[in-house]
């Protein structure tokens, strides 16, 4: 389903319309308003739920919300304790935020592709892309933050000298210094890029397939979109989980001396 203005452009127009973000401004300073709105909104949902659960937290018999929140907290805590052996007040909450936020981003993918653009067009918005994780800015925003944390902790734990030594002297010793540096830089830079691109790629492709299914005749759509949606329940959770676990692993690597 698309607005009449785009119907004329056919299938390609429909797809492009669905993948175009609502933006304001030009060039680098353009802002994807839909991405920012939905990610902030979903972040608010996450914080609201967990804050209310945390406020009512008792050590006795937990309520439903507390139970759910505790389940996630314990799950994340187990993951952190499995891979990270130091002591850090940041990593576990960070992992929880990442998991929940990414999951909620991805969850937007399960809404029928036309609902939000339609509501948007009724409100006078020409474009509306509701899944923040199909925006590279969102996924890279998060993965670059993680990257900066990796650098920060590497320097904090090992010191500038220790970190530089690690960059220059490993894995092949002092005689291969430039080569080591090159390898290490690639290794480090690959972390945020792979993190961001993996999430983006999975969700972008998933969204694209939903859009393609939506182009088919109405009686075929449920046959295809239902299994794809069911499969996507796995994908969105898995991608959130992967992002979280890799963040934990990278940060624990940053904490370790080699």
Partner 1 sequence: MSINATLIGQMITFALLVWFTMKYVWPPLINSLEERKKKISEGLAAAEKGQEEILLAEQKAKSILKDAKDQSSEIVNMAQKRATEIVEESKEAAKKEGERQIVAAQAQIEQEIQHAKESLRKEVADLAFNMAEQILQAEVDQNKHQDIVQKVSNQLG
Nearer Cβ to partner 1 (93/162): 93
By the 8 A CB rule, do 39 and 108 touch?
A: no
Q: What's 24's DSSP letter? A: E
Least separation, in Å, of the C-beta of 95 and partner 1?
10
Distance CA(252)–CA(139), nearest Å, equals 21
The catalytic residue among 2, 143, 154, 202 is 202
Nearer Cβ to partner 1 (35/154): 35
Binding interface with partner 1 (CB under 8 A): 19, 23, 25, 27-32, 35-36, 39-40, 43, 46-47, 50-51, 53-55, 57-60, 62, 66, 69-70, 73-74, 77, 89-90, 92-94, 96-97, 101, 132, 135-138, 140-142, 144-145
SS3 content of the chain, % helix, strand, coil (to 5): 80, 0, 20
129 is known as an active-site residue? no
Least separation, in Å, of the C-beta of 204 and partner 1?
9
Nearer Cβ to partner 1 (29/218): 29
Nearer Cβ to partner 1 (92/169): 92
Least separation, in Å, of the C-beta of 93 and partner 1?
4
Chain centroid offset of residue 144 CA: 11
| C-alpha distances out from residue 24 to 27, 35, 124, 128, 129, Å | 10, 12, 14, 12, 14
| C-alpha distances out from residue 190 to 30, 137, 155, 202, 209, Å | 26, 17, 19, 17, 27
Least separation, in Å, of the C-beta of 6 and partner 1?
19
- Residues designated as active site: 194, 198, 202
């Amino acid at each position: 389903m698309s607005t009449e203005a785009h119907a004329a452009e056919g299938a390609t127009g429909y797809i492009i319309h669905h993948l175009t973000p609502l933006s304001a401004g030009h060039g680098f300073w353009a802002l994807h308003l839909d991405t920012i709105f939905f990610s902030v909104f979903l972040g608010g949902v996450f914080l609201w739920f967990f804050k209310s659960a945390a406020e009512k937290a008792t050590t006795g018999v937990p309520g439903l919300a507390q139970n759910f929140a505790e389940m996630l907290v314990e799950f994340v805590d187990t993951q952190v304790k499995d891979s990270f052996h130091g002591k850090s007040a940041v990593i576990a909450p960070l992992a929880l935020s990442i998991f929940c936020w990414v999951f909620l981003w991805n969850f937007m993918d399960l809404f029928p592709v036309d609902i939000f653009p339609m509501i948007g067009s009724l409100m006078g918005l020409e474009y509306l892309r509701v899944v923040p994780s199909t925006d590279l800015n969102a996924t890279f925003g998060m993965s670059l933050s993680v990257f900066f944390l990796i650098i920060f902790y590497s320097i904090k734990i090992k010191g500038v000298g220790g970190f530089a030594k690690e960059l220059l002297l490993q894995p092949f010793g002092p005689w291969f210094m430039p080569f080591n540096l090159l390898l290490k830089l690639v290794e480090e830079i690959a972390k945020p890029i792979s993190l961001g691109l993996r999430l983006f790629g999975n969700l972008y492709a998933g969204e694209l397939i939903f859009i393609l299914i939506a182009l088919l005749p109405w009686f075929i759509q449920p046959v295809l979109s239902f299994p794809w949606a069911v499969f996507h329940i796995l994908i969105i959770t898995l991608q959130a989980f992967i992002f979280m676990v890799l963040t934990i692993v990278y940060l624990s690597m940053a904490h370790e001396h080699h």
